[in-house]
Amino acid sequence: MKNKYLFKGLNEKELPENADEAAVFFEMRKLSTEAIHVKTLDSIKDVEHLLTAEWYYVANNLVAHKGKTLIFKGRVVLAERSNLVVFLHTAIADEDLRPLLISPCFKKDVRQVIFISEDECHLYLANAL
**b vs e for 84-119, b when ≥16 Cβ sit within 10 Å of the residue's Cβ?**
bbebbeebeeeeebebbbbbbbbeeebebbbbbeee
Q: Where are the beta strands (DSSP E) in 10-61?
A: 37-40, 55-60
**pTM exceeds cut of 0.75:** yes
Residue 53 CB neighbour total at 10 angstroms: 14
Q: What is the pLDDT of residue 16?
A: 81
Do strands 100-104 and 76-80 pair parallel, antiparallel, or not at all (unpaired)? Answer: unpaired
Q: What is the pLDDT along the chain (129 residues), one digit of tens a residue?
A: 556 677 888 888 888 888 899 999 999 999 999 887 789 999 889 999 999 999 999 999 999 999 999 999 999 999 999 999 999 999 999 988 899 999 999 988 899 999 999 889 999 998 754
If DSSP codes are grouped into helix, strand and coil, which group holds residue 62? coil
Q: What is the pLDDT of residue 18?
A: 83
Domain spans of the chain?
21-128
Residue closest to 57 by CA, chosen among 114, 102, 27: 102
Q: What is the pLDDT of residue 125?
A: 92
